[in-house]
Amino acid sequence: MAGNRFVRRRAKLRSGVRQAGADAILVSNFTNVSYLTGFRGDDSFLVTGGSIDLLISDSRYTTQIQEECPGLEFQIRRSGQTMLEAIAKNAKKAKLRRLGFESSSLSFESSEKLRNAAPSVELVPLSGMVEQLRLLKDRQEIAEIRDAVQQAERGFRILRTMINGKMTELEAAHELEHTMRRLGAQCASFDPIVAAGSRSALPHARPTERTIGESPFLLVDWGATNSAGYKSDLTRVLTTGKILPKLAKIYRVVLNAQRRGIEAIRPGARCCDVDAAARDVIKSAGYGKRFGHGLGHGIGLDIHEGPRVGPNSEETLKPGMVVTVEPGVYIPGWGGVRLEDDVLVTPDGYELLTTVPKEFEDAVWG
Amino acid sequence: MAGNRFVRRRAKLRSGVRQAGADAILVSNFTNVSYLTGFRGDDSFLVTGGSIDLLISDSRYTTQIQEECPGLEFQIRRSGQTMLEAIAKNAKKAKLRRLGFESSSLSFESSEKLRNAAPSVELVPLSGMVEQLRLLKDRQEIAEIRDAVQQAERGFRILRTMINGKMTELEAAHELEHTMRRLGAQCASFDPIVAAGSRSALPHARPTERTIGESPFLLVDWGATNSAGYKSDLTRVLTTGKILPKLAKIYRVVLNAQRRGIEAIRPGARCCDVDAAARDVIKSAGYGKRFGHGLGHGIGLDIHEGPRVGPNSEETLKPGMVVTVEPGVYIPGWGGVRLEDDVLVTPDGYELLTTVPKEFEDAVWG
């Protein structure tokens, strides 16, 4: 039965909530609600624990919940009743004494309103409980991420054949998203970065009206969100003009760093050590100060989720985690090189989920 | 000077914050930060009031802030320092005793962390202060909304010429967004709703793989976000097959209701009375229970902002407000009709910003 996956996730959460000393938890982060129920809309909260396991939504979503969450108990709040009033009412009805809530998602104002609406219920701030479950992807989730990777990779392959020097960064970014959607993606997993020449020195460059052919190279950072909401995240550099020796040199440093980072991935490895494996290569080449961000991050229903792979990250890799590995070297005014792939931690080591070629020769466009 | 608009907005806010009894306010809602500074990135907070007027960001955004916010004082927090630590440090340095914060945007967890990082500063929950300023659009903002309207309208005109019965709802939605981008839009202002036949009975239908030609009519709810971030929001119905007498009847009821609603718009009108003007037409026609949502909402940098135009809305219209007027009649299992336009409140009455034809005859496709 399709619902079982979600029932299992909620059972794990309920057990964690009990251990944290609460009777139930209010899940207010919509991505977490999706993860726990399969419901893909917004403005809906889940209360689960003890005798209660209830999605609270509004009348816009009645049909969608029936379609997406077979077997899930849900309540459509009547118009005029706020979400927090509906929660308070159900908390009292279920005789909850201690109700946990997601304190990194619920606003201060909402927490106060809930406190006032349910004065007999003690509110317990809990943080990161669902995010902790989401760290480890199950088989189905890994299949969804593979799907998102495939949509991104096919989109990029098509973009490479369509791209020309007269296209602007913006046009290329829009073509890429549209192509991925044609291939079945729900949307891009974030606004694609298409950054020509010196713009690529900005890790979060917004595409502009600059034409691609004005610069000798181009950085593309993109991904797809598949129909189930799972995301991929890649970066490649394409040379679009004369090949610069400086570009070739930096490219090879970054590629070498990325390989070392990927090879350091295995169950039990500390994230800071994976970061260091890549960072040391860049430092040795004299570019240490030009790599200002962490090596990577988890992906899943969010484009940035745990674990963080950075110099200060004490987290330890476990089978089922999926992380990006994306070292970069950025020279202000000149440009930047970043290479990014998505990697699954397996029981034995790692599996590279992304397959876009990345030798420097592969970066030569046209 | 381009910055003046933002300086003026911050001056108004600072005066309101003083009246609310705080020395300064922490603005943590990114749309509000954009409105007050012109900065279009995220992960950046503004502290303004008394001797402090400072945007706090991170190193990814140095260049972008310099480009987008000439003259604005900003601080790039050093890596390792959290946003809340940076805020606490600046609050102490500026000797703030009472710091307001946006309690509907800041999470409970962040408010606690800030309290711990700056125990000598009293935190004052303030809600809706920037949203209150954003209610009244200035000349430039109205021009930006007109731009977003034009992108949406041209996109829809092109979609009408491209659409065919074999297209799926999803394909039509994707084509529409892509076309608006080609016309200069940053993106769609929300995922377009393209709902064929019975799907249109869901006010928030997600486009599916259903082909358009399977149903006798189609509802499209869409808008554009222009390059400055301002949004438009429209809805039209197209007949795609045999013209159903029931559709024609309901369509004319909704159109008549919409006209009455629009004509009720003037400075000083209460939002609930504008809602009633339209709702009464639908009630008289016997469809009162089939119109389950409010008549409209403000648009601007957000697709849903103030004022709310609904049965219980006591707000009063003022010149410079821009609202949608979108009555609908929804028959579960059969389908729905909604018509939506964007209307500016003027000193004398109203101006209809949207111009897509909407007589029932105009809805006949092909």
Over residues B171-220, the pLDDT tens digits come to: 999 999 999 999 999 999 999 999 999 999 988 888 999 999 999 999 99
Tell me if B125 and A109 make a contact (CB, 8 A cut-off). Answer: yes
Residue A363 binned pLDDT confidence (cut-offs 50, 70, 90):
confident
Please tell me the predicted confidence (pLDDT) of residue A242. 83
**B41 touching A (Cβ < 8 Å):** yes
Q: What is the DSSP string of B138-162?
A: -HHHHHHHHHHHHHHHHHHHHHHHH
**B204 touching A (Cβ < 8 Å):** yes
Average the pLDDT over A204-229 and give the result: 94
Tokens standing for residue A154: 């096919």
Tell me if B60 and A112 make a contact (CB, 8 A cut-off). Answer: no
**A182 touching B (Cβ < 8 Å):** yes
- How far is A248 from B198, CA to CA, in rounded Å? 57
Tell me if B107 and A109 make a contact (CB, 8 A cut-off). Answer: no
Pick the most confident of A205-209, A214-218, B257-261: B257-261
Residue A312, pLDDT > 60, answer yes
Residue of A nearest to B80 (CA): A312
Distance of CA A149 to the CA centre of its chain: 13
The answer for B 219-258 residues in CB contact with A (under 8 A) is none
Tell me if A60 and B202 make a contact (CB, 8 A cut-off). Answer: yes
Please state, for a pLDDT cut of 90, what percent of chain A lies above it: 91
Tell me if B104 and A103 make a contact (CB, 8 A cut-off). Answer: no
Please tell me the predicted confidence (pLDDT) of residue B203. 86
Which residues in A lie closer than 8 A to residue B293 (C-beta atoms)? 60
φ/ψ (deg, to 5) at A160 = -60, -35
φ/ψ (deg, to 5) at B315 = -60, 155
CA angle at residue B323 from B322 to B328, to 5 degrees? 160
**A203 touching B (Cβ < 8 Å):** yes
Of the listed ranges A274-288, A296-310, B203-217, B251-265, the one predicted with least confidence? B203-217
At A110-129, the pLDDT tens digits run: 999 999 999 999 999 999 99
**A292 touching B (Cβ < 8 Å):** yes
Residue A329, pLDDT > 50, answer yes
Q: What is the DSSP string of B336-354?
A: EEE-BEEEEE-SSSEEE--
The domains located in chain B, with CATH, are: 4-134 (3.40.350.10), 139-363 (3.90.230.10)
Which residues in B lie closer than 8 A to residue A106 (C-beta atoms)? 107-108
**A206 touching B (Cβ < 8 Å):** yes
Query: Beta B45-49 vs B24-27: how paired, if at all?
Result: antiparallel
- How far is A255 from A358, CA to CA, in rounded Å? 8
Please tell me the predicted confidence (pLDDT) of residue B1. 44
What ipTM was reported for this prediction? 0.92
- Residue B116: exposure state from Cβ atoms within 10 A (0-12, 13-18, ≥19): exposed
Please tell me the predicted confidence (pLDDT) of residue A366. 59
Residue of A nearest to B123 (CA): A108
Average the pLDDT over B64-77 and give the result: 94
Please tell me the predicted confidence (pLDDT) of residue A3. 52
**A59 touching B (Cβ < 8 Å):** yes
Query: Beta B24-27 vs B98-102: how paired, if at all?
Result: parallel
- B202/chain A closest Cα distance in angstroms: 7
What number of C-beta contacts closer than 8 Å exist between A and B? 81
Q: Which of A111, A174, A203 sits opposite B108 (nearest CB)?
A: A111
- A282/chain B closest Cα distance in angstroms: 19
At B211-223, the pLDDT tens digits run: 999 999 999 999 9
Residue B287, pLDDT > 70, answer yes
**B203 touching A (Cβ < 8 Å):** yes
- How far is B14 from B49, CA to CA, in rounded Å? 5
What is the residue type of B39?
F
- How far is A75 from B274, CA to CA, in rounded Å? 31
Tell me if A107 and B112 make a contact (CB, 8 A cut-off). Answer: no
Q: What average pLDDT does chain B have?
A: 95
| Closest C-alpha to A79, from B203, B91, B361 | B203
At B293-303, the pLDDT tens digits run: 999 999 999 99
Please tell me the predicted confidence (pLDDT) of residue A241. 77
Please tell me the predicted confidence (pLDDT) of residue A365. 72
At A167-191, the pLDDT tens digits run: 999 999 999 999 999 999 999 999 9
Average the pLDDT over A67-76 and give the result: 94
- B111/chain A closest Cα distance in angstroms: 7
Q: What is the DSSP string of B230-296?
A: -B--EEEEEE-SSPPHHHHHHHHHHHHHHHHHHHT--TT-BHHHHHHHHHHHHHHTT-GGG--S-SE
What is the residue type of B284?
S
| Closest C-alpha to A47, from A58, A61, A36 | A36
Residue A141, pLDDT > 70, answer yes
Q: Give, for A298, the enclosing helix (H) or strand (E).
A: strand A296-298
- Residue A314: exposure state from Cβ atoms within 10 A (0-12, 13-18, ≥19): exposed
- Residue B256: exposure state from Cβ atoms within 10 A (0-12, 13-18, ≥19): middle
Please tell me the predicted confidence (pLDDT) of residue B185. 97
Residue A1 binned pLDDT confidence (cut-offs 50, 70, 90):
very low
Residue A83, pLDDT > 80, answer yes
Q: Which of B79, B107, B112 sits opposite A107 (nearest CB)?
A: B107
Evaluate whether A257 touches A276 at the Cβ level (below 8 Å). Answer: no
Query: Which residues are paired to B331 by β-bridges?
Result: B335
Average the pLDDT over B234-256 and give the result: 94
Evaluate whether A195 touches A207 at the Cβ level (below 8 Å). Answer: yes
